[in-house]
Structure 1
């Protein structure tokens, strides 16, 4: 029997499609222009690391979560604290990890692997972003060792799993927050978005909005909104909100610098005529 799609399934498909497709324009643009100067190296490295954290978190929540008991001792139905993550989230994240690794290869090894032309791209990560990246890796290692010891000595438990997954979500959100700063500043320094795939931003906005709408639909159709459900899903909410904030910054930069570039082009035409 064919499963009938619900509204939340359609929303899930839309945001996974939008977020997945949004990863292709930068890669294709770099390949066409034989250059990756429009992409900040800091952005590419931090973004890839954030996806790695998110992939681990989603894998634990989807495939290693213990089923909730049917009832508690007093006969009441237990509250399911499992975050509202789906297969859509997992496959989008796995795809995102792969595509970000491709983007990193263009930014770091573009000349060797992709035969890009030599250009004045930043060679190393900026010190403050590099330090933040190293600190996040150290924190991830400490959290993982702590979680491993808890599981080994105390057994598998959903609350410990949720605590670890939420910590990974915090790392991912911090990566999403920090990763966009060098890209926004990179655009500001260049005073141009030439080579920057604005199509990705538009698709990103579509994905962020539909992701939030799907979450609202899931929670309202299940146990309803409460402090418990919001706490369990704060990672997904936080990621979508941070993404949308910076997407609107990119759109504003595109509008400002596009007008400036059009004005400069018009003045050059007038001078030539």
Structure 2
């Protein structure tokens, strides 16, 4: 970009988009726990979602934090991407990830009656698939660290061999994997119940707006550097935005079109929110 004034404007617009998407995505974490608190119940919310969600955002916090504050990781990125030199990770990415981790943990704890006293359906149990995914994601970075230490001639400092940046990329891929699969249990639960009652649509609306803004910032940053490898050099941000938008559209269709009148239906299940719910404090979710 040869025009200095235009470059200043684009950089300012990029920062504005970054903070806008951060606030939009951050806001998406509040409606569901507030809704649960008002109902004193988690019925209608798939427990698989918060179980893996906090792990995903913990990994994303590590990824964004090291790209911002680790000189080694930044140098290795610059060596692999000489045209752009600087990763397209911004402070707002890290701020969002850290905030999301905390809120995800709070939502997960709402499935523990001993903490909040909420009603938890006896059907709200973590699936074996999600448990396997959870522990597989915990072990995966350890495997990559072992590969780096065993195959790198200088202990992971050579950016063109197995390096520490590959460990950080592993955390980002874990976040991406979790994002791809975490929405599926909720979409399936809505389908089985033919209802979105008990599950808030507001987070998906904030989520959709954040995905669009995040994608716009990534494209703008890459155009600013005149290097479109800035997009592929930050694959997690690119794919997170697209996957988020895709699933948000599914939820929007479920809530506003397919099951629009579900709140008036008599759902023949324990989670029928049109009838009083029995508060059974002995009901506990399966622990990870």
Q: Which residue of 1 aligns with 2:83?
A: 79
- How many residues align? The count is 253
Q: CA 1:253–1:100 in structure 2 vs 1: closer, same or farther (change >3 Å)?
A: same
Report the equivalent of 1:47: 53
Contact 1:81 1:229 (C-alpha < 8 Å) held by counterparts: no
Structure 1 partner of 2:43: 37
- Is 2:257 the partner of 1:253? no
Q: Distance in 2 between matches of 1:151 and 1:82?
A: 24
- The answer for the alignment partner of 2:271 in structure 1 is none
Alignment partner for residue 63 of structure 2, among 37, 57, 77? 57
1:130 match = 131
CA contact (8 A) 1:193 1:257 kept: no
Q: Is the CA contact 2:60–2:175 (under 8 Å) kept in the aligned structure 1?
A: yes
Q: Say yes or no: does 1:96 pair with 2:100.
A: yes
Structure 1 length as normaliser, TM-score? Answer: 0.83
In structure 2, stretches of 5+ residues that fail to align are: 1-7, 267-288
What secondary structure is seen at the aligned counterpart in 1 of 2:199? coil
The answer to whether 1:169 aligns with 2:172 is yes
- Name the CA shift for 1:65/1:157 in 2 (closer, same or farther; >3 Å): farther
Residue pair 2:183, 2:247 contacting (<8 A) in 1 also = yes
1:181 maps to 2:187:
no
Gap change, CA 1:121 and 1:100, over 3 Å in 2:
farther
Instruction: Give the SS at the match of 2:110.
Output: helix
Inter-partner Cα distance in structure 2 for 1:152 and 1:103: 44
Q: Are residues 1:25 and 2:28 paired?
A: no
List aligned pairs for 1:211-222, cutoff 5 A. Answer: 211-222=214-225
Distance 1:144 1:186, change over 3 A: farther
* Mapped partners of 1:100, 1:68: distance in 2: 32
Contact 1:20 1:92 in 2 (8 A): yes
- Report the more deviating stretch, 21-30 or 43-52: 43-52
| Alpha-carbon distance in 2 for matches of 1:45, 1:262 | 26
Deviations 1:87-142 (A, max 9, x none): 000010000000000001002x1x1111213x424353112222222222221221
What TM-score, normalized by structure 2, do the two folds share?
0.79
Give the conservation status (yes or no) of the 8 Å contact 1:37–1:121.
Answer: no
Q: How far did 1:233 drift?
A: 1.5
* Partner residue of 2:110 out of 106, 110, 128: 106
Q: Distance in 1 between matches of 2:75 and 2:138?
A: 32
Residues 240 and 55 of structure 1: CA distance in aligned 2, closer, same or farther (over 3 Å): same
Distance 2:252 2:209 in 1: 13
Q: Could you tell which deviates more after superposition, 136-145 or 9-18? A: 136-145
Q: Which has the higher helix share?
A: 1
